[in-house]
Amino acid sequence: MSSYRFCRTDDIDLLVDALNRCWAPHFPNEPPMTPAAFKRSIRDLQVWCSSCMVAMSGPDPIGVLIGAKRSSGTLIHRIAVHPDHLRQGHGRHLLTSLSSKLAILGPPRIVAEVPESLAATCELFSACGYLEEAALTDYERDNSQHPTPNSQGDQSGFVIPITVEDLAANGLFEEGPQVCWERSFQTLIARKDEIAGRGVASDERIEAYLLYVRRDDSTAEILSLRSLVDENPAHLHQLLTQLTVQGFERVIFPRVHPEEISTDVLEGLGFRPSTTRRLFAGRARAA
């Protein structure tokens, strides 16, 4: 007999166990979940234990849903069912239970960013009434194929160090483009101490900026790349060459929303698409 329940803040160990039992078998190359990593997701993504659920069969978790909540909506961060319990309705029950709760408590908007390769999960969201809003694309850039500043030609502004706090103080997050949940300004603020940044500045203002973190010795991950002057490619190229100077051979730019920056600009900067996620959105409703 299966049972389902929402979690509390003292259920982190249960949620970690549920993820390692139900999520990890589907993604064997990912590191196991730990309490420390889960607490970090609370800080960075605003995961709420009260928006998380587990399905149990006796003492063992057989399904798990991890929800993150902000004023704008709730993100289904992860949903998984143990391989031995698939196709038994557990995933649908987890989704509809959370939807019923949010129909009362809010916020009403619910989103999920699902890898396109997970066809069954995409089908689950579609069957539960979610609509696809956009495709979020991962991009990669091979820095060895692009010139360093010494061979780039004219520079269009001064490159200066910049921080998340600098950008927030200048109001540059207030009317930014739509981005994925993991690169929203709330996450940037939460991770501000580990994020590096560069900006192109004129005498009057910041013209463009780049925020990034080091993935490993050779890879940088972009968290924000934005020109404030009509998507000026010269500014953006100027910023990207700073990563080349620092020795990064590879740059990744994950989950780019089509409204964030145009495909033509990215391809002109040397980025190439790799994997895609489907952004599903729905409204909370009582069962």
Dump pLDDT digits (tens) for 4-24.
999 999 999 999 999 999 999
> Is residue 143, in this structure, part of any structural domain at all?
yes
Q: What angle do CA 67, 279, 143 make, to 5 degrees?
A: 105
Secondary structure of the chain in the HEC alphabet?
CEEEEECCHHHHHHHHHHHHHHHHHHCCCCCCCCHHHHHHHHHHHCECHHHCEEEEECCEEEEEEEEEEECCEEEEEEEEECHHHCCCCHHHHHHHHHHHHHHHHCCCEEEEEEECCCHHHHHHHHHCCCEEEEEEEEEEEEHHHCCCHHHCCCCCCEEEECCHHHHHHCCCCCCCCCCCHHHCHHHHHHCHHHCEEEEEECCCCEEEEEEEEEEECCEEEEEEEEECCCCCHHHHHHHHHHHHHCCCCEEEEEEECCCCCCHHHHHHCCEEEEEEEEEEEEECCCC
Residue 156 has pLDDT above 80, yes or no: no
Residue 200's pLDDT is what?
95
CA distance 92 to 96: 6
83 plus 158 within the same structural domain? no
217 occurs within a structural domain: yes
One domain for residues 147 and 258:
yes
Q: Is residue 51 domain-resident?
A: yes
Residue 174: the pLDDT is: 85
Q: Are both 147 and 248 inside the same structural domain?
A: yes
Shared-domain flag, residues 142 and 262: yes
Please identify, among 55, 88, 107, the residue that sits at the C-terminal boundary of a domain. Answer: 107
Closest by CA position to 26, among listed 94, 81, 68: 81
- Mark whether 165 and 271 lie in a shared domain: yes
Query: Does a structural domain hold residue 233?
Result: yes
Stretch 61-77: mean pLDDT: 98
Last residue of a domain, one of 88, 107, 126: 107
Q: pLDDT for 181-194, tens place per residue? A: 999 999 999 999 99
- CATH of residue 20's domain is 3.40.630.30
Judge whether 41 lies within some domain: yes
Question: Is the domain of 180 the same as that of 272?
Answer: yes
Examine the domain organization and report whether 24 and 100 are in the same domain: yes
Q: Flag whether 255 is in a domain.
A: yes
Identify whether residues 70 and 174 lie together within a single domain: no
Domain membership of residue 19 (yes or no) is yes
**pTM metric for this prediction:** 0.93
Domain, as residue range, for 94: 2-107
For residue 147, the model assigns a pLDDT of 61
- Whether 123 maps to a domain, the answer reads no
155 confidence band (pLDDT: 50, 70, 90)? low
152 pLDDT above the threshold of 60: no
Identify whether residues 261 and 146 lie together within a single domain.
yes
Across the range 131-148, mean pLDDT stands at: 90
Is the predicted pLDDT of residue 203 greater than 70, yes or no? yes
Which pairs count as long-range contacts for 102-108, CB under 8 Å and 24+ apart, including other chains? 102/51, 102/74, 102/284, 103/284, 103/285, 103/286, 104/286, 106/284, 107/69, 107/70, 107/71, 107/72, 107/73, 107/74, 107/284, 108/73, 108/283, 108/284
Same domain, 8 and 53: yes
Which among 107, 125, 150 is the end of a domain?
A: 107
User: Does 39 share its domain with 164?
Assistant: no
Q: Is the pLDDT of residue 150 over 80?
A: no
Report the pLDDT averaged over residues 47-70: 98
Number of compact structural domains in the chain: 2
Whether 150 and 266 share a structural domain: yes
